[in-house]
Amino acid sequence: MCGLKKDQIYQIAIDGPAGAGKSTIAKLLASKLAFTYIDTGAMYRAITYKILKQCIPLNDVHAMIALAKQTEITIENEHIFLDQEDVTDLIRSEKVTKGVSTVASVKEIREEMVQFQKCISQHSHVVMDGRDIGTVVLTEADLKVFLTASVEERARRRFEELREQQPDVQLKAIEEQIKQRDYVDENREHDPLTPANDAVHIDSTSLSIHEVVENITQLFCEKIKKESVEKLVDGR
């Protein structure tokens, strides 16, 4: 697709707040381009799951860091393994969702995760989503996207997702939780959620998933073509 070079590794970074549709879109995009999809939020969730399982209080930063350093996280076929246990579904619990922003605000835990994320993106073409991908993890990505949607729309999407398993779920409560998570992610000291200077902003509030995937595919192809022409012109 769009003249990818055989000897080059391509990287697409997708950042944005909770519920903007990043993971659905990144997964479809990766499948369309035959790239590997890497969900970095799942890594922060996995370590949060282990911290909670071991009853470590979320204000015991030293214990959380020590635990993170002894933890092995691997990803295979979009499944996430924590010390070899498949935790793909377990990390989506309410408890993990509530605690993960606190865990993700610890500098040393972020450093561990970022190192791992950089490592896995060196060997295959990736679409990686998260909060700091364009600004910290893949600073040289071929394309950086900052995907947003209104708080109301993000809450509505999450509500639709949860309604089947949790019939008593409240839209207002989800909206509050999303606002709270945005606040922590945007205001934390280390690698806060912020668009990279060279990111393309896409507001998905009134776009379908398909439209966003198409939009990003086109942007990527244009970028690749432009880079190839620039290399030819420069004789690089």
- 33/43 with CB nearer ligand DC: 43
Distance CA 156, CA 174 (A): 8
| Shortest distance in whole angstroms from residue 106 CB to ligand DC | 10
70: its two tokens: 């002894």
Q: How far is the CB of 181 from ligand DC (least distance, A)?
A: 5
- Angstrom distances, CA of residue 43 to CA of 46, 58, 107, 163, 214: 5, 17, 15, 25, 27
Instruction: Compute CA 12 distance to the chain's CA centroid, rounded to the nearest angstrom.
Output: 11
Q: Which residues of this protein are in contact with ligand DC, per CB under 6 A?
A: 18, 40-41, 44-45, 100-101, 104, 130-133, 181, 185
Exposed/middle/buried for residue 117 (C-beta within 10 Å: 0-12, 13-18, 19+): buried
Nearer to ligand DC, 12 or 224 (CB): 12
Phi (first) and psi of residue 24, to 5 degrees:
-60, -45
Residues 6+ away with beta carbon under 8 Å from 5: 228
Closer by beta carbon to ligand DC, 61 or else 221: 61
Q: How far is the CB of 1 from ligand DC (least distance, A)?
A: 26
Would you say 98 or 125 has its CB closer to ligand DC? 98
Closest approach of Cβ 85 to ligand DC, in Å? 18
Give CA 232 to chain center in angstroms.
34
Q: How far is the CB of 54 from ligand DC (least distance, A)?
A: 19
Nearer to ligand DC, 104 or 151 (CB): 104
Q: Give least dist CB 86 to ligand DC, A.
A: 17
* Residue with smaller CB distance to ligand DC, 177 or 228: 177
Residue 166 phi, psi (nearest 5)? -125, 85
Question: Nearest Cα to 7, choosing from 137, 116, 125?
Answer: 125
